[in-house]
Structure formats: structure tokens, C-alpha cells
Chains A and B, each alone.
Chain A
């Protein structure tokens, strides 16, 4: 099983729709999780940090299920500006160092 797997999409949704992305991980020692947003030909930018069972920030909600090793990102009332690729990121461990492992991302396209 890959360390992190994401639903690749693309998700094509109309403005105002609610959309959810899923992410499963295999490293059971993970303590914190992140969702990053990456616009086309740009660097990833931190969208949300999750340290417990979930986090909500405006239209965005991230939820965690530790037993199933699964996290999700819910976007309500989608805007055209939400169009981007969303990267799921749990921490990983290698040789005693912590390092983030990035999923390949889920592409979202919001249309008028």
C-alpha cells in the first residue's frame, strides 16, 4: 500500500456546489496532517493543518478518521477561485527524521 493515496479526480463542479476529497495513509504513527493547495505552475501553499479529529476554516472542513487511516477535505459553496490541485500530506518517518510525504493531488475545476 502506498504511504498516501488520493482520489486523482478531476472533479468538475458548478459554482456553489459542495465537494469532498479523500485521502488514505498507511503510516499509523502520523500525528498531524495537512492539506495544501497548488495552482497551475505554482508552488503548493498550506491550506489547512489538522492535529486532532478535524478542523474547520470558513468553507473548508478537514476531518480525520484514525481507525480507518483516512482524512477528507470538504469544500462548501465552491468558488471559481477554488479551482486548483489539492495535496494531502501526512507526516512520514525516515532514518529518524520526520519528513512530509505528498500525495499526487486531486484536481478540482469549478465552472460557472
Chain B
């Protein structure tokens, strides 16, 4: 079955450490997105990519980095520059925005 897979489901990060969240899709979607959700809050866009080897900053890109070397993969790195990284991270993909997004099941990141 086609879908979008995020891993790991739970991730713990020590202060000053970089961590990478994985997002893989086999839906043949061109566009992929990373959102952050804090408790009781809406989704905020971190980065998005419309095609391979191209990506754009979203509303809260500081402290994050991404790559899009393959159509299927859009990993997100949370760097030590992100001072408050504890949140629920959601990856999504779409064939076009008019068709809506498909979300992965998310990664919960906690700083310890």
C-alpha cells in the first residue's frame, strides 16, 4: 500500500545535539512538507519542497535544515541552534495542493 512513513515515532535529544527525522513516501508525490505542532496549537510550516533538489523555508525554518536528494525522501535535521525543539513533527506530501496532503504518523521529539 502507498503511504508516507516517518521514523522514529519517539526521539529524545540531548542539549547541543543534532538529530535527523526521517520521512519517506511511495506515493510518487512531487511535493513534501514538514510541520511542527506544539501542544494545543496549530500546525506551523518549517520547510517545503516542490521538486527534487529544491526546497523553501516556511514560517519557522530557523534551527532546522532539510535535503531533497530523492523524490521519495525529505529528511529534517533539528540542529542545536533550535532552542526549543520539543514538539510533534509531521511530514506530509501531495501530488498538488489542490488535492490536499497526506500526512505521516509523526515523530515526537523531546529534549532531555
Q: Give the B-binding residues of A (Cβ under 8 A).
A: 31-32, 34, 41-46, 49, 51, 87, 89, 91, 94-95, 97-105
Contacts and interface: CB of A to CB of B under 8 A. Distances in A.
24 contacts: A32-B98, A43-B106, A44-B43, A44-B101, A44-B103, A45-B103, A49-B100, A87-B42, A89-B100, A91-B98, A94-B56, A95-B56, A97-B56, A99-B33, A99-B45, A99-B97, A100-B94, A100-B97, A100-B101, A101-B45, A102-B35, A102-B42, A102-B43, A104-B42
A46 B41 contact: no
A18 B57 CA distance: 40
A46 B97 contact: no
Give the bracket for the number of chain B residues in contact with chain A: 20 to 34
B48 interface: yes
Given A49-B99, A99-B97, 15 more contacts: A34-B100, A42-B105, A43-B90, A46-B101, A49-B100, A95-B56, A98-B96, A98-B97, A99-B45, A100-B33, A100-B101, A101-B45, A102-B35, A102-B42, A102-B43
Contacts of B96: 98
B100 A43 contact: no
A12 B108 CA distance: 28
A105 B98 contact: no
A64 B90 CA distance: 28
B103 A43 contact: yes
A9 to B, nearest CB: 12
B104 interface: yes
Nearest to B45: A99
Given A44-B90, A95-B56, A103 B42 contact: yes
A23 B11 CA distance: 34
A100 to B, nearest CB: 6
